[in-house]
């Protein structure tokens, strides 16, 4: 197919796009060609406000000078060096800076290239931890229904979104899933964490009893399930999960790929929820989306357990060619500098209430069956269109919004919001008003 826009694209055929209906998209492409601050520009010259922070990753806004400078300077000096038995200063500087902003108990970080890899790394560390502690029978990994932990075989296995898991045959064994926490009848239009549902954490106790605590390695939880449509944890839920893990000496992993780096006014959402896990997975916002990076943070007990035997023992048989890539590490440092310079965490905290109010003002718009928000994450969930075309309302709203100059993330029957955290009340108002107008006109 010829495609004669000014961007120089003359064929759309070859690129097999991720999580995209190829043929539909290629009939009517939506292309961004530049971005600055809160806005993209499309190939027709239109400004489009970024209501999704890219893909939950551009938390500090687009085109940030300190990040650009850090990456460019790094590229001038050292484009690549391996971190397998050699190293480079930027990786160590980034690790120190990142660990310093994580919860106090976190002492070490393992670098990878994506959220999926950060999760698979965490699962391997959890199982490996018990093995080095002489408890190799602890292998069971517990995830949750409706969880999204990326697309690696590990993440898919503990994840709980059927249409993501089901295409690919057998997954990891020794995996179980807690029920998800969403219940429309009990929780619809809750503001922030729902009152109902804390008791669902008790299922963990039953599951551990079923498998035998001595076989369970870890529990992995998104503090707020993101990709399944922003499910905030019911009040008391995360606290109870932590308590049960402690009781049975089971590792708690938070997948903070979405909830980290500012979404909750801090680098980890554990300060917001008052619950600290043993392992934290990050990606996305860690480099503001500029250079791919995943990071798996662990506490002293976990790192220490691996540091056994002679000094020349390789303690963890795991790593990626690009673990600690110089450009990614430079981007992470530039991101932290940007957060500090612009007090982005403070702005996120200040915007949480206006964001919540704006979203919930859409309650009476057509087809809206639920609105959820937590921190700087939000979703407007719409009715199903018909039995054989469930998500037509949300699909059409997503496209209409794009042509109205608002980019949101399309979820299942849902318009998902995770805007850059540099936004102000005018941006929030613009996004919410546009959604209201689009729903009214559907």
Question: Can you give the binding site for ligand PLP, defined by CB under 6 A?
Answer: 114-116, 119, 148-150, 222, 226-227, 255, 257-258, 283
Q: Are 405 and 51 in contact (CB under 8 A)?
A: no
Direct distance between the N- and C-terminal alpha carbons of the chain, in angstroms, rounded to an integer: 30
Shortest approach of ligand PLP to residue 224 CB, angstroms?
Answer: 9
Q: Which is nearer to ligand PLP, 413 or 434 (CB)?
A: 413
Q: Which is nearer to ligand PLP, 114 or 434 (CB)?
A: 114
Q: Which is nearer to ligand PLP, 54 or 194 (CB)?
A: 54
Shortest approach of ligand PLP to residue 120 CB, angstroms?
Answer: 9
Shortest approach of ligand PLP to residue 109 CB, angstroms?
Answer: 16
Shortest approach of ligand PLP to residue 113 CB, angstroms?
Answer: 8
Q: Which is nearer to ligand PLP, 270 or 434 (CB)?
A: 270
Q: Are 239 and 203 in contact (CB under 8 A)?
A: no
CA 62 vs. chain centroid, Å, equals 18
Angstrom distances, CA of residue 307 to CA of 106, 234, 340 = 16, 38, 33
Q: Which is nearer to ligand PLP, 42 or 255 (CB)?
A: 255
Angstrom distances, CA of residue 231 to CA of 103, 132, 240 = 23, 35, 17
DSSP 179-211: -----HHHHTT--SS-STTGGGGHHHHHHHHHH
Shortest approach of ligand PLP to residue 257 CB, angstroms?
Answer: 4
Shortest approach of ligand PLP to residue 119 CB, angstroms?
Answer: 5
Looking at residue 216, the DSSP 8-state letter turns out to be: E
CA 242 vs. chain centroid, Å, equals 20
DSSP 7-51: T-----SS---TTS-HHHHHHS---EEEEEBTEEEETTS-EEEET
Helix 344-360 vs helix 326-342: crossing angle, to nearest 10: 70
Q: Which is nearer to ligand PLP, 226 or 233 (CB)?
A: 226
Q: Which is nearer to ligand PLP, 129 or 148 (CB)?
A: 148
Shortest approach of ligand PLP to residue 90 CB, angstroms?
Answer: 21
């Amino acid at each position: 197919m010829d495609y004669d826009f000014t961007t120089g694209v003359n064929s759309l055929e070859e690129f097999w796009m991720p999580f995209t209906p190829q043929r539909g998209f290629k009939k009517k492409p939506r292309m961004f060609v530049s971005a600055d601050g809160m806005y993209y520009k499309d190939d027709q010259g239109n400004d489009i406000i970024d209501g999704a922070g890219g893909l939950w990753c551009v938390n500090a806004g687009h085109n940030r000078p300190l990040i650009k400078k850090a990456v460019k300077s790094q590229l001038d000096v050292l484009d690549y060096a391996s971190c397998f038995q050699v190293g480079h200063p930027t990786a160590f500087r980034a690790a120190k800076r990142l660990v310093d902003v994580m919860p106090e108990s976190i002492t070490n970080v393992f670098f990878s290239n994506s959220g999926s890899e950060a999760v698979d790394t965490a699962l391997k560390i959890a199982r490996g931890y018990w093995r080095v502690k002489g408890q190799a029978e602890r292998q069971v990994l517990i995830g949750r229904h409706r969880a999204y932990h990326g697309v690696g075989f590990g993440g898919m296995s503990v994840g709980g979104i059927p249409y993501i898991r089901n295409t690919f045959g057998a997954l990891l064994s020794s995996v179980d899933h807690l029920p998800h926490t969403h219940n429309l009848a009990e929780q619809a239009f809750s503001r922030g964490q729902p009152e109902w549902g804390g008791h669902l954490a008790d299922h963990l106790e039953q599951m551990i009893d079923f498998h035998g605590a001595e076989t369970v390695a870890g529990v992995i939880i998104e503090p707020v399930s993101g990709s399944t449509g922003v499910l905030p944890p019911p009040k008391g839920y995360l606290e109870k999960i932590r308590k049960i893990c402690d009781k049975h000496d089971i590792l708690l992993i938070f997948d903070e790929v979405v909830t980290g780096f500012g979404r909750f006014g801090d680098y980890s959402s554990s300060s917001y929820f008052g619950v600290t896990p043993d392992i934290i997975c990050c990606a996305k916002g860690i480099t503001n989306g500029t250079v791919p990076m995943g990071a798996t943070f662990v506490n002293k007990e976990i790192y220490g357990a691996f540091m056994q035997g002679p000094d020349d023992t390789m303690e963890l048989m795991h790593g990626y060619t690009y673990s600690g890539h110089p450009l990614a590490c430079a981007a992470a440092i530039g991101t932290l500098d940007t957060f500090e310079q612009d007090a982005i965490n403070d702005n996120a905290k200040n915007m949480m209430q206006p964001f919540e109010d704006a979203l919930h003002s859409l309650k009476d718009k057509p087809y809206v069956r639920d609105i959820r928000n937590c921190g700087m994450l939000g979703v407007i969930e719409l009715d199903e269109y018909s039995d054989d075309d469930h998500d037509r309302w949300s699909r059409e709203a997503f496209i209409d919004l794009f042509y109205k100059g608002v980019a949101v993330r399309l979820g299942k029957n849902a318009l998902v919001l995770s805007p850059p955290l540099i936004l102000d009340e005018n941006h929030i108002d613009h996004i919410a008003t546009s959604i209201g107008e689009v729903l009214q006109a559907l």
